[in-house]
Chain A
Amino acid sequence: MTPKLDKQEMRNYLLGSLEAERRAALEESILCDPGIYEELVVVEEELIDEYITNNLSPSERQQFETHFLITAERQKKLRFGRLLRRYLDSQPVFVSPDDIPAPVVRQDKIDAPATKFFSFATGSFARGATLTVSSAVVVILVILTLVCWRANRKPDTVQENSPNPIPYTLTPASLRSEDAGTQRVKAPPKGVNVRLNLEVTNTNFRNYRAGLFREKNFVQTADELKAEPNGEQRVVPWTIAGEVLSPGDYQIKLSGVAESGPDAFVDNYSFRVTKK
């Protein structure tokens, strides 16, 4: 007889924390019930995604690293999960109008589009499902939105007379080891800027373009950033007004501006802004 097993029990099983009796019942079901097996492998992938996006609790995270990742097969799955996340993060961001932060869209000037499309998301970014007639309309609306926003974005501008910006070096997703923790940036005091040094391995571009997102919501963009040496590394520095960085999870998408043709996606940089 198949015992009733919920998703939480499957998570506990995969993390090695399910009590022995329930574990035996689940394992028997894995062999005899195709539905249970399929559910288990789906939960396994979801766990991997939650680990990658830092959505596991500290204890689950520890169990994931010490128990779940013990086999080479699961390590391969984690590696693939990271790769897929990197690809998805390079794609246009679909958000509902409710998710668009107030400074970005001026509702009195333009009707909110159903979908927001990051302005430099062209070329390889725009492949696939977004190539529809409706997305073209959305692009036009968003360009208009950004034009309106850029003209009114005083709160996000860098403080010219602020003290020296506080530097932080961010490692891109493609170079981060699997056991590396979250990169952290302290929320700066009022009026102080932050200089984010984005490590790059591809320095073939004359200019770079960066977009800052807070939990998938677009915050701001910068053009004409340039790579420069920073010790033995090459970095693309981006100075951001401290006021922009309230505590939360952020992501920067960096692209290289090609001599001709569309921009080329370079990498993602994830970090968490913590309280002062």
Chain B
Amino acid sequence: MTLVGWLQIGLILGLVALTARPLGLYMARVFSGERTLLSPLLGSTERIFYWLAGVEPDHEQGWLAYTSSMLVFSATGFASLYAILRLQAYLPFNPRHFANIPPDLAFNTAISFLTNTNWQAYSGETSMSNFTQMAGLTVHNFLSAATGVALAIAVTRAFARHNAATLGNFWVDITRATLYVFLPFSLLIAVTFIATGVPQTLAGSVDAVTLEGARQVIALGPVASQEAIKQFGTNGGGFFNANAAHPFENPNALANLLQIWALLAVPFGLLVTFGKMVGSEKQGWALFKIAGLVLVGAVVIVYAAESFGNPLLTHLGLDPSGGNMEGKETRFGIALSSLYAVATTATSCGGVNAMMDSFAPLGGLVPMFLMQLGLITPGGVGSGLYGLIVFAIITVFIGGLMVGRTPEFLGKKIESREVKLAILAVLILPLAILGFSAVAAVLPSALASLGNNGPHGLSEILYAYTSAAGNNGSAFAGLNANTPWWNVTTGIAMVLGRFGYVVPVMAMAGSIAAKKKVQASLGTLPTDGGLFVGLMIGVILIVGGLQFLPALALGPMVEHFLMLAGKTF
């Protein structure tokens, strides 16, 4: 680790912290239905959309109607994306004449983009037409992000309201999220990306003849427009196979700065939005600190592990001062690669600028563990916020009892129904991750996909299901995930991770909204102070993470000790 490295990390995180409040307050205005700077520009578009869709913007929905709308919308999105993938050969903007996507891969990919996972079992530049990338994948980059934010806002309203039967209108929330938040920022980010060297063209590829006379086919496309929403919506599905490590997606350190800022901006900003909407900005900042501290702690470990270099290679004579450069780009170096890896797995982005599979064992353990915690530090757009709230509820429950009162969070009493639904949601991750991994670990057809042997192979399995169930989408990419087994099972894990998680959470929100708001007193557990921050981090690590430790012990943990002992596989 170097001081310069920390300065780079500090600059990016500082920018995120600086922009969180303005962005968060802006989003609070957007979702409170207030006028914003963009209202004169977009107001009429918004109204036309509602009119065409037959949506009464003032008609609010209860949790069940809100959730059903979301499910129907997702199902519709799945059907349309699946169709585009299966039929892309007959659709326009296919300059390289890519074939239709086979059913299992189309299923996996459609689920993946719908759930904001953006797990890529395909290689973008060799299989997806420009039409698919734009009208299929880019659209769902917007809509899955908007859906996540809408759900989080609905949960937020549950705490802001008193004896309420409704949580808002799903159609209005996704429309406003897309029109006022994701689209305008994506425009700005995309233009900046192009300026730094990200291509934006309808051409499929260009041929070059190298100085040595060899032919190089350089894949191209409308990269910048997709890259912008991919990051800003914490989607992470790259235009290219190598994702943001590809020089066209992420050409230099400045582009990288924008990449990391964009993927952290909304998840952190939403914490401020939450505070603002529930009437306690301080509460939002407490969640901000919880997420921020875990994130910084993770960066320390990953940066240290990667800087240390691979002792096995050092032993061969490599200069360890360069760090572990296998699977990393020269222009990013160790510091920016480590930060990216943590940022992308602390959110549900899942884009990568370095290959996690080649990280040092502990460097790979931390991203995996961050996802296993539930992708809440600060998590994906929206999903991170409601995940944090679930953990806040569990923390308040334990902490509230400790101060001798029925636990309450933001004036809402936490009772057995809320605890039950919170636990139900939290159980989904271990069930999907460990359950599928356990089967894959002994199934020969699944094991055939592994790219590495020994404990690292187990890490690849665990990472795949962790990423899928957590709706992250990053991978230990040595695993060949494009087989029927992996396509189907990771697809199911993604569905469980998104919908299996959010449905109980929405039911919980419904029950919380209906409660009256209890006044806080000196006897109320303060949930916005340092003590609570510490307690909640403890609960996240112990309740959210501890159950994965036995599996991790046999994967990255043992690999770390084996690496130190000089063993190879």
Q: Do the two chains belong together in a single complex? A: no
Interface residues of A (CB under 8 A from B): none
Interface residues, chain B, with chain A CB atoms under 8 Å away: none
